[in-house]
Amino acid sequence: MTTTDYDPNVVLSTENDFKVVGTRPVRHDGVDKVTGRAIYGADYDASGLLHGKILRSPHAHAKIISIDTSKAEALDGVHAVVTAADFPEAADKIMELGEDETKLRDLRGNILARDKVLYVGHAIAGIAATNAHVAEEALSLIEVEFEVLPSVMTTDEAMADGAPILHEDQTTEELGDDSGVVSNVAKHFQHIKGDIAEGFKQADVIVEREYNTVTVHQGYIAPHNGTAFWSADGRLHIWCETQGSFVVRDSLADLLDMPVSMIRVTPTEIGGGFGGKIPIYVEPVAALLSKKTGTPVKIVMTRKETFEGSGPTPGSKIKIKVGATKEGKITAAHAWMAMEAGAYAGSPVGAAAQCVFAAYDLENGLIDGFDVVVNKPKTAAYRAPGSPNAAFGFEQALNELAEKLGMDPIDLRLKNVATEGTRRVDGPVFQRIGAKEVLESMREHAHYLSEKQEGSGRGVAIGFWFNIGFDSACNIALNKDGTVNLTEGSTDVGGSRTSIAMQAAEVLGISAEDVRPSVVDTDTIGFTAVTGGSRTTFATGWAAYEAAQDVKKQCITRAASIWDVDPDHLQMEDGIISSKTDSELKMTIKELAAQLSDTGGGITGRASVKPRGVGGSFCGNIVDLSIDQETGKITIDRFTAIQDAGKALHPSYVEGQMQGGSVQGIGWELNEEYFMSDEGKMNNTSLLDYRMPTALDLPMIDTVIVEVANPGHPFGVRGIGEANIVPPTPAIANAVYDSCGSRITQLPMSPGSILEALKS
Amino acid sequence: MTTKTHVQTTINGEPVDFLCEPRQSLLECLRDVIGLTGTKEGCGDGNCGACTVNIDGRIVTSCLVLGVEAQGASIETIEGVADGTNLHPIQLAFLEGAALQCGICTPGFIIATKALLEKNPDPTEHEIRFWLANNLCRCTGYDKIVRAVQDAAKRMQEA
Amino acid sequence: MSGIIVVTNNFVRDIKDNQGGSLLKWIDYQAPESVADAVKILADSDGKARPLAGGTDLIVQLRVKDPRVNAETVVDIKKIPELNQMDYDKSGGLTIGAAVPLHLIYNNPDVIKHFPAIIDSASLIGGTPIQGRATLGGNLCNGAPSGDSIPNLVAHKVIATVAGPNGIREIPVEDVCTGPRQTSIDSNELLVSLYFPNPGEGFGANYIRFIPRNEMDIAVAGAGVSVNISNGKFVDARVCLASVAPKPILVEGASKALVGQPVNDESIQNAAEAAREAASPISDMRGTAEYRKHLCEVLTRRALNTAIERAGGN
């Protein structure tokens, strides 16, 4: 065992009055996953299955003059070829897609390019064949005539005067109004609080700097996949790895112009998502191919396709200006942020704007956000989308400010920290939040109090991500042995079916093992929004709580009828129904369950919720690193993540999220990037050259779970999946500065760039 | 062009014959021909380790082995790690230590860990991290995986 | 390119266009059991057959349809006895068959005892599962400028034994690579084995590379070195660099800077600077040319210090 003189994983618990919540049961789907039995999307098989492949653009920007599929169709073993022309024409509309919204026309254009290709990897045609080898061979027989156009790869290029335009019909929305100006800037918006000009006048110290980040990928290990079967009765059935089965269903209904009731989506187990498996890519192509062939068609992306043809998170340019009095009170802050949306509008700059100053109580703040289209894949959500980019700027600027003021960087943050009642620059007023408690835990942590190793650097930073509410549904059926079957619609990326089941168990007074949770298809459960926005344990957990309350109420009513007493005189606690007045009247839920059939039939609880009491979570990092002075290589020596979980339902899972998010942040910081050629091709489309951290690149990731209960949830839960990826980039940058005295403002911090900084 | 080769192997202790084309990787044969889908594909070029299997006592990435090369080989996949309904101590350690989140990399990690602990029953943290560097996990940050391997080593020594 | 109408036949592509998980193209498979049979298959195939040992490069190249690997037949050479030998002889030399996987090499007692520096390369090519298959022979024949074993083989003055239609020939390993992924081994020839001669007294060697991750990466630069030390002086020395030229380069200037000189920091630094000067890298996604030249100096110095320590000279 790693020996440490402190507990590497601490839970600072505020509320221990629970039987199940806060414990660490083994996940219900665990045995299937350690024995290889769990069925992921690529594992799905069906009789008569055909295999699909997708032809993708070799050009970053080009007009499609013509597509000739005849030779491909003639190849032995090829059953069908589809292009954008196979989509029904439907009027454009705005679609709600999980955390984002997009135009139907844009989504359709991204699935299969119609008139233009907008990035290397843009899908053009799909082929279904007897096996994947034949399908891949047939791709090379499709002839496409392109007129190649100049491309733009960064916000700078895209925003420049005279830049090549991706969408001739896209005019900039300027501060809420259509400017009528055709440009690659889809939108410029502002959030204003107070008067920053006045604020900067009051400042004794001002820091102003520009920060740049590049495109990175979520890096889930299972590539996108989907199987479609268009039955002779007109119904379409999809099996796929998705973070939102209902998003898949509803998107397909719009794209294919058919009623949602004609589409059934069965979510398989999912090999990672991190936001990237919210949008659909291959599912509609598989559906069109199945419609043509009458047989099931499966499409599984390669790793290269996953990099080039799915949705990474954007590169960005961020300019920060922040001023403070010599006592450390921030008087004004301005964040100017431009983010690459990829080929179609909709970067996470909106979320970045909500997060950039969220941890602080600012009197005067201004946020400018620019959503900019470029010739890269359309970006998708990636764990706290936008917030890490923003924090890379602002949290570095704060450390610079602290240094100028001669203050401890945590003290500076505490002096300005947001608390209950703080109005954010973008408007909302915080309910009870844990930013202050996280910072205080950081300041008191053994890591922060320890002496640094000789030659190492230490950095700190914090980050924010909200929780979204949205719709969730849950059904609970009581079995005759007192166990329950729980069905819900949140696809489970990392153990959520257990954290949801635990909430039902807590209400019913039974063990987590006595709840059998299942993630079911869209025909079988009420509408449930995406697994994203740190909402699943929070919101679907709430649905489970309500459904369990429904079961509990029915149990009490049933017992009352059996005993012929007033239900108001009964209670149910720890799985025992008893009378408040007659101590003789007592029955366990198991005893009741055994009599259900004879006493009026089964008991099923149900709930559909759209919770509003959303919390939001803060996470802080303390990081120690050392730099090889001759090569510039950074070694992370020690890493501590401290996050407010509200109430940690399953502390191991909370720790797991914190550790996983931290390491994604470390990868983002050190080595990950889309290395683009001048022609707009990604040069590193393998997992050898897209350098995600390996086990050997990391220390243990120590955790502290802070619990500041969310008053908006029955157990105080906050969604904790995302905030943990926000602080690593600035915390490491701050540690690099501490180590070598240079401010690195460009990600990733490759060894070569660090060596340059060491020299200067 | 469609000639298939008859390959005779032993998989998880049982004789298994299959037909395959020379261009099919062992991974494709396991998943698509034989139907053992516990072995996963994450990258197709040996860099993620999700397709790790054990051939004749050595772990390999099965996407970089041809099915025809498996003639006469003894192959262990994730489906053969548990003894009937008794999970292997490594599987128990991963389960109880919450060392998996999405679970797609887990079969590869368990196969690789088993080979490590059979060779080195008491590895250091560094030895564990080195051995498993060819297995990518994007969910856990590896912390709980490394601890699960340490825990499994202890369980196996006590067994 | 703007405005030009281009008809794209998507079959003709850059290798990069197929990177990352494409499927294998059609191949035939043969598994001869003798060198003669293997050579015959190679010779009869009009340059369209490729030996398959560990396959960790070849299968990836077949997947990406690398035009430099125009293979219609793969010749599995793992059933040929001579290619599986590991033989430490009376003269103190070691023969390693071309198909011996790395894990057998670094677990071999003779290697551990007599040629421990080979393990530097054998244990860092790919990760553990790659080392279950990959071979030194394959690493050499693949001829990548970044091949992690090649500088080490050169430092050990290895002799390659090659069989062809005209019989057996021996090639000093530094003459094998001729350019990026090009070798002096003809398409109708087969690498049979690598011979590590007795390195002599006071010998020490080392290979190190620089990569951004700690494993699973392509060398940004690599340095394989060897020294023979007697009475506090270098009596022989070799420095060979990876990833900084179209092929691994033996740095003559480094040998000159060391041989006859006392074992001290100054000699080592002179050799390191010679390595820096000899490097002619390109700038690409792995690093800039200037950074790679700098790394050559750093790696050569560090590798020499380790080699000297192993030689018992420090």
CATH number at residue C120: 3.30.465.10
- How would DSSP label each residue in A306-370? HHHHS--B--EEEEEEEEE-TTS-EEEEEEEEEEEEESSS--THHHHHHHTTTTB--SSEEEEEE
Confidence of residue A94 (pLDDT cuts 50, 70, 90): confident
B66 token code pair? 């041809």
Task: Examine the pLDDT at B121 and tell me if it is beyond 70.
Answer: yes
Task: Examine the pLDDT at C15 and tell me if it is beyond 60.
Answer: no
Instruction: Give residue for tokens 């839970």.
Output: A11
Question: Is the Cβ pair C129, B1 closer than 8 Å?
Answer: no
How many Cβ atoms are within 10 Å of B18's Cβ, its own excluded?
Answer: 19
Mean per-residue pLDDT, B113-127: 98
Whether C294 has its CB under 8 Å from any CB of chain A: the answer is yes
A165/A171 Cα distance (integer angstroms): 11
Reported as a single tens digit per residue, the pLDDT across A197-232 is 999 999 999 999 999 999 999 999 999 999 999 999
Helix, strand, or coil (residue A474)? strand
H runs (alpha helix) in A163-208: 196-202
Mean per-residue pLDDT, A165-178: 97
Whether C22 has its CB under 8 Å from any CB of chain A: the answer is yes
- Residue A618 CA: distances (Å) to CA of A418, A461, A643, A727, C314: 11, 11, 6, 9, 53
A390/A353 Cα distance (integer angstroms): 8
Whether C25 has its CB under 8 Å from any CB of chain B: the answer is yes
- Asked, for residue A707, whether it belongs to a domain, the answer is yes
Whether A38 has its CB under 8 Å from any CB of chain B: the answer is yes
C141 and C241 fall within a common domain: no
- The residue from A609, A626, A650 where one domain ends is A609
C191 and C90 fall within a common domain: yes
Q: Could you say which architecture CATH assigns to the domain B5-80?
A: Roll (3.10)
Sequence letter at residue B16: V
Mean per-residue pLDDT, A79-99: 86
Mean pLDDT of chain C: 93
Instruction: Give residue for tokens 């089965």.
Output: A245
- Asked, for residue A760, whether it belongs to a domain, the answer is yes
Q: Lowest-pLDDT range, A683-687, C7-11, C190-194, C237-241?
A: C7-11
Mean per-residue pLDDT, A657-664: 98
Confidence of residue C17 (pLDDT cuts 50, 70, 90): low
Tell me the nearest-neighbour CA distance from A126 into chain C, angstroms: 14
Chain C residues whose CB is inside 8 A of the A145 CB are 5-8
Question: Is the Cβ pair A145, C3 closer than 8 Å?
Answer: no
pLDDT at C70: 80
For C301, how many CA atoms within 13 A lie in the half-sphere containing its CB?
Answer: 17
A437 and A494 fall within a common domain: no
B118 token code pair? 């059979």
| Calculated CA dihedral for residues A711, A715, A716, A717, nearest 10 degrees | -130
Mean per-residue pLDDT, C281-292: 94
CB B43 within 8 A of CB C21: yes
CATH of the domain at A116: 3.90.1170.50
Q: Please, what is the Cα angle at A119 between A96 and A54, to 5 degrees?
A: 80
Tell me, letter by letter, the H, E, C secondary structure of A132-149. HHHHHHHHCCCEEEEEEC
- Asked, for residue A84, whether it belongs to a domain, the answer is yes
Fold agreement (B5-80, B89-158) = no
C275 and C214 fall within a common domain: yes
Confidence of residue A464 (pLDDT cuts 50, 70, 90): very high
Chain C residues whose CB is inside 8 A of the A148 CB are 1-4, 6
Mean per-residue pLDDT, C180-195: 96
CB A304 within 8 A of CB C16: no
Count of B-C CB contacts under 8 Å: 98
Question: Is the Cβ pair B22, C74 closer than 8 Å?
Answer: yes
- Asked, for residue A743, whether it belongs to a domain, the answer is yes
Sequence letter at residue B62: S
H or E element that contains A706: strand A701-706
- Asked, for residue C157, whether it belongs to a domain, the answer is yes
Task: Examine the pLDDT at A260 and tell me if it is beyond 70.
Answer: yes
pLDDT at B72: 97
C169 and C213 fall within a common domain: no
A592 and A619 fall within a common domain: no
Nearest to B70 by CA among B116, B35, B24: B24
Chain C residues whose CB is inside 8 A of the B24 CB are 24
- How would DSSP label each residue in C177-236? EEETTEESS-TT-EEEEEEE----TTEEEEEEEE-SSSSS---SEEEEEEEEEETTEEEE
B6 token code pair? 């008859």
**Residue C32 lies in domain:** 15-76
pLDDT at B159: 80
- Asked, for residue A622, whether it belongs to a domain, the answer is yes
Number of domains in chain C: 3
* Phi, then psi, of B112 in degrees rounded to 5: -65, -40
- The residue from A563, A582, A609 where one domain ends is A609
* Phi, then psi, of C255 in degrees rounded to 5: -60, -45
Mean pLDDT of chain A: 95
CB A69 within 8 A of CB A55: no
Reported as a single tens digit per residue, the pLDDT across A693-718 is 999 999 999 999 999 999 989 999 99
Chain C residues whose CB is inside 8 A of the A223 CB are 21
Number of domains in chain A: 3
Chain C nearest-CA residue for B49: C129
Chain C nearest-CA residue for A698: C214
Whether A77 has its CB under 8 Å from any CB of chain C: the answer is no
Instruction: Give residue for tokens 């925003």.
Output: A159
pLDDT at C18: 62
Confidence of residue C26 (pLDDT cuts 50, 70, 90): confident
Question: Is the Cβ pair C13, A150 closer than 8 Å?
Answer: no
CB B104 within 8 A of CB B40: yes
Burial readout A556-591 (b: 16 or more C-beta within 10 A, e: otherwise): bebbbebbeeebeebebeebebbbeeeeebebbbbe
A628 and A754 fall within a common domain: yes
* Phi, then psi, of A371 in degrees rounded to 5: -100, 115
- Asked, for residue A9, whether it belongs to a domain, the answer is yes
Question: Is the Cβ pair C212, A691 closer than 8 Å?
Answer: yes
CATH of the domain at C290: 3.30.390.50
Whether C20 has its CB under 8 Å from any CB of chain B: the answer is yes
C17 token code pair? 């266009």
Question: Is the Cβ pair C295, A55 closer than 8 Å?
Answer: no
Task: Examine the pLDDT at A353 and tell me if it is beyond 50.
Answer: yes
Task: Examine the pLDDT at C9 and tell me if it is beyond 70.
Answer: no
Question: Is the Cβ pair A35, B78 closer than 8 Å?
Answer: yes
Task: Examine the pLDDT at A160 and tell me if it is beyond 80.
Answer: yes
Helix, strand, or coil (residue B84)? coil
Question: A599 forms bridges with which residues in the sheet?
Answer: none
Which class does domain B89-158 fall in?
A: mainly alpha
C21 token code pair? 């998980």
Question: Is the Cβ pair C24, A133 closer than 8 Å?
Answer: yes
Tell me the nearest-neighbour CA distance from B111 into chain C, angstroms: 10
Confidence of residue C3 (pLDDT cuts 50, 70, 90): very low
For A618, how many CA atoms within 13 A lie in the half-sphere containing its CB?
Answer: 29
Sequence letter at residue A366: L
Confidence of residue A378 (pLDDT cuts 50, 70, 90): very high
Question: C229 forms bridges with which residues in the sheet?
Answer: C234
A110 and A246 fall within a common domain: yes
- The residue from A578, A609, A640 where one domain ends is A609
- Asked, for residue A222, whether it belongs to a domain, the answer is no
Question: Is the Cβ pair C59, B131 closer than 8 Å?
Answer: no
Quick one: B35 exposed, middle or buried, by C-beta within 10 A (0-12, 13-18, 19+)? exposed
Residues 36-65 of B with CB under 8 A from A: 36-45, 47-48, 50
pLDDT at C157: 98
Task: Examine the pLDDT at A396 and tell me if it is beyond 80.
Answer: yes
Question: Is the Cβ pair A148, C4 closer than 8 Å?
Answer: yes
- Asked, for residue C258, whether it belongs to a domain, the answer is yes
Delimit the domains of chain B by residue range.
Answer: 5-80, 89-158
Reported as a single tens digit per residue, the pLDDT across B43-92 is 999 999 999 999 999 999 999 999 999 999 999 999 999 999 999 999 99
A124/C91 Cα distance (integer angstroms): 64
Higher pLDDT, A594 or A14: A594
Reported as a single tens digit per residue, the pLDDT across A19-63 is 999 999 999 999 999 999 999 999 999 999 999 999 999 999 999
Whether C126 has its CB under 8 Å from any CB of chain B: the answer is yes
Residues 643-662 of A with CB under 8 A from B: 652-653, 655-657, 659-662
Task: Examine the pLDDT at A312 and tell me if it is beyond 90.
Answer: yes
- Asked, for residue C136, whether it belongs to a domain, the answer is yes
Task: Examine the pLDDT at B1 and tell me if it is beyond 60.
Answer: no
A122 and A263 fall within a common domain: yes
Tell me the nearest-neighbour CA distance from A221 into chain B, angstroms: 5
- The residue from C196, C213, C239 where one domain ends is C196
Tell me the nearest-neighbour CA distance from B127 into chain A, angstroms: 9
- How would DSSP label each residue in chain C? -TT-EEEEETTS--GGGGTTTPPPPP-EEE--SSHHHHHHHHHHTTT-EEEESS-TTHHHHHHTT-TT---SEEEE-TT-GGGG-EEE-TTS-EEEETT-BHHHHHT-HHHHHH-TTHHHHHTTSS-HHHHTT-BHHHHHHHT-TT-SSHHHHHHTT-EEEEEETTEEEEEEGGGTEEETTEESS-TT-EEEEEEE----TTEEEEEEEE-SSSSS---SEEEEEEEEEETTEEEEEEEEEESSSSS-EE-HHHHHHHTTSBSSHHHHHHHHHHHHHH--PPPBTTB-HHHHHHHHHHHHHHHHHHHHHHTT--
pLDDT at C22: 86
CB A689 within 8 A of CB A681: no
Tell me the nearest-neighbour CA distance from B154 into chain C, angstroms: 22
Task: Examine the pLDDT at C19 and tell me if it is beyond 80.
Answer: no
CATH of the domain at A702: 3.30.365.10
Tell me the nearest-neighbour CA distance from A30 into chain B, angstroms: 6
A148 token code pair? 């190649």
- Asked, for residue C304, whether it belongs to a domain, the answer is yes
- Asked, for residue C10, whether it belongs to a domain, the answer is no
Tell me the nearest-neighbour CA distance from C212 into chain B, angstroms: 14
How many Cβ atoms are within 10 Å of A101's Cβ, its own excluded?
Answer: 10
- The residue from C41, C58, C76 where one domain ends is C76
Helix, strand, or coil (residue A712)? coil
pLDDT at A581: 93
Question: Is the Cβ pair A35, B91 closer than 8 Å?
Answer: yes
Tell me the nearest-neighbour CA distance from C28 into chain B, angstroms: 6
Whether A139 has its CB under 8 Å from any CB of chain C: the answer is yes
Q: Which of A9, A33, A653 to mutate to test the interface with B (most CBs of B within 10 A)?
A: A33
pLDDT at C13: 45
Whether A76 has its CB under 8 Å from any CB of chain B: the answer is no
pLDDT at A1: 37
Nearest to A247 by CA among A610, A608, A530: A530
C22 token code pair? 């494409």
A263 and A282 fall within a common domain: yes
Whether A263 has its CB under 8 Å from any CB of chain B: the answer is no
Of B22, B46, B115, the CB nearest to C126: B46
List all chains that touch chain C, counting a touch as 3 or more CB pairs closer than 8 Å: A, B
Confidence of residue A81 (pLDDT cuts 50, 70, 90): very high
Question: Is the Cβ pair C22, A55 closer than 8 Å?
Answer: no
- Asked, for residue A109, whether it belongs to a domain, the answer is yes
Reported as a single tens digit per residue, the pLDDT across A732-745 is 999 999 999 999 99
CB C129 within 8 A of CB B49: yes
Phi-psi domain of A646 (left: phi exceeds 0; alpha: psi -120 through 50; beta: other): left
Tell me the nearest-neighbour CA distance from B93 into chain A, angstroms: 10
Nearest to A495 by CA among A547, A537, A538: A537
Nearest to A361 by CA among A411, A462, A435: A435
Confidence of residue A320 (pLDDT cuts 50, 70, 90): very high
Question: Is the Cβ pair B61, C129 closer than 8 Å?
Answer: yes
- Asked, for residue C43, whether it belongs to a domain, the answer is yes
Question: Is the Cβ pair B104, A221 closer than 8 Å?
Answer: yes
Whether C28 has its CB under 8 Å from any CB of chain B: the answer is yes
Chain C residues whose CB is inside 8 A of the A685 CB are 16, 19-20
Reported as a single tens digit per residue, the pLDDT across A425-461 is 999 999 999 999 999 999 999 999 999 998 899 999 9
Instruction: Give residue for tokens 């994604």.
Output: A664
Chain A nearest-CA residue for B99: A656
Whether C113 has its CB under 8 Å from any CB of chain A: the answer is no
Crossing angle (nearest 10°) for helices A728-740 and A651-670: 50
**Residue A112 lies in domain:** 42-150+242-299
Question: Is the Cβ pair B69, C76 closer than 8 Å?
Answer: yes
Task: Examine the pLDDT at A614 and tell me if it is beyond 80.
Answer: no
C91/C168 Cα distance (integer angstroms): 21
Helix, strand, or coil (residue A221)? coil
A487 token code pair? 């069905």
A485 and A594 fall within a common domain: yes
Laid out side by side, the sheet with C5-9 consists of: A116-117, A62-68, A143-148, C5-9
Of B64, B115, B131, the CB nearest to C60: B64
Helix, strand, or coil (residue A22)? coil
Nearest to C225 by CA among C211, C236, C240, C209: C240
- The residue from C55, C76, C97 where one domain ends is C76
Of C4, C218, C220, the CB nearest to A688: C218
C80/C53 Cα distance (integer angstroms): 11
* Intra-chain end-to-end CA distance of chain A, in Å: 41
Reported as a single tens digit per residue, the pLDDT across C98-116 is 999 999 999 999 999 999 9
Confidence of residue B24 (pLDDT cuts 50, 70, 90): very high
Of B94, B136, B140, the CB nearest to A694: B136
A683 token code pair? 């040069």
Question: Is the Cβ pair A304, C295 closer than 8 Å?
Answer: no
A694/A680 Cα distance (integer angstroms): 28
Task: Examine the pLDDT at A571 and tell me if it is beyond 80.
Answer: yes
Reported as a single tens digit per residue, the pLDDT across C115-141 is 999 999 999 999 999 999 999 999 999
B13/A209 Cα distance (integer angstroms): 63
Q: What is the CA radius of gyration of chain C?
A: 20
Reported as a single tens digit per residue, the pLDDT across C256-278 is 999 999 999 999 999 999 999 99
C259 and C168 fall within a common domain: no
Counts for chain B of helices (H) and strands (E), in that order: 5, 5
